[in-house]
A and B are shown apart, each in its own frame.
Chain A
Amino acid sequence: QAVVTQEPSLTVSPGGTVTLTCGSTTGAVTSGHYTYWFQQKPGQTPTALIYNTYNKHSWTPARFSGSLFGDKAALTLSGAQPEDEADYYCLVLYGGAWMFGGGTKLTVL
C-alpha cells in the first residue's frame, strides 16, 4: 500500500520562503494524482488551499502556490506571515481512493 510522505516539521522566518513537499512510496507524484493541500490550525477544521496540484480556491492567499517539484508535489509559501503557522497536509489520489500525508508542522519564527 502506498504511503504519502511529508516533512514532519519545517521552520520559516517571517517574510521568508519555504517549500513543503509531498511524495509517494510508489513513485513520482504527477498531475494525475490531483494533489490537494490543506492548512489546519489548532482546534479548527482543515481549509483547502490548493486543488489539482496547481489551482487555488478563491480564499487562498496569493503567497501560497502549488506545483510539481522533481518527483513530488510541492506547496510553496512566499512571504510567510505569523498566521501561516499551522499544520499542512497533502492529499493524493490513487485510482478512486485518496490518501493524506502525515502532515508538516510549519513554524514561523
Chain B
Amino acid sequence: EVQLVESGGGLVQPGGSLRLSCAASGSPISSYWLIWVRQAPGKGLEWVANIKEDGSERNYMDSVKGRFTISRDNARNSVYLEMNNLRPDDTAMYYCARGRFDAWGQGTLVTVSS
C-alpha cells in the first residue's frame, strides 16, 4: 500500500518562494500521473497541477501558471511543487495525490502573509 508524505510548507512573505515535496513509500510511483491539490482554510478543493508518468506533460491551473512548477524524480519516488512569487491567496493546505486519486498525502500547510 502506497503512502504519500508531503513536506516543505510553512510561513512565507508575499513574493517569496517555497518548494514542496511529496515522497512515496510502499509502491513505486513511476507508472502514475501525480497531482497537487490545495484547499484554503474553510474553502473547497482546487486542482493545482499534474505531471505525466515520465514528466513529458505538465498542466497547471490558470492562477499559478508562470509561478509554480511541478516536477518529479521517479528514482527518488517523489514529486515536487516549486512555488514562486507567492500571494496571500495561495495560502492553503497542499496535498499530493496519485493517479486516479487512489492515494493522498496528509497535506502540508502553506501560509503566505507579511
Give A89 to B45 CA distance when docked, in angstroms: 8
Decide if B71 is an interface residue (CB 8 Å cutoff): no
How many residue pairs link A and B with beta carbons under 8 A? The number is: 51
Q: Is the CB of A89 within 8 A of B44?
A: yes
- B residues sitting closer than 8 Å to A (CB atoms) are 35, 37, 44-47, 50, 57, 59-62, 95, 100-102, 104-107
Of A38, A57, A97, which contacts B59 at CB under 8 A?
A97
A-B CB contact pairs (8 Å), 23 listed: A1-B62, A38-B101, A45-B95, A45-B107, A46-B37, A46-B45, A51-B100, A51-B101, A57-B100, A57-B102, A89-B45, A91-B45, A91-B101, A95-B59, A97-B47, A97-B60, A97-B61, A98-B47, A98-B50, A99-B47, A99-B61, A100-B44, A103-B45
A18 at the interface (CB under 8 A from B): no
Number of chain A residues close to chain B: CB under 8 A: 21
Point out residues on A near B: beta carbons under 8 Å.
Answer: 1, 36, 38, 40, 45-46, 48, 51, 57, 87, 89, 91, 95-103
What chain A residues lie within 8 Å of B62 (beta carbons)?
Answer: 1
Q: Given the known A-B contacts A96-B57, A96-B59, are A48 and B101 also in contact in the complex, defined by CB atoms under 8 Å?
A: yes
Judging by beta carbons under 8 Å apart, are A91 and B47 in contact? yes
B102 contact from A45, A48, A97, A100, Cβ within 8 A: A48
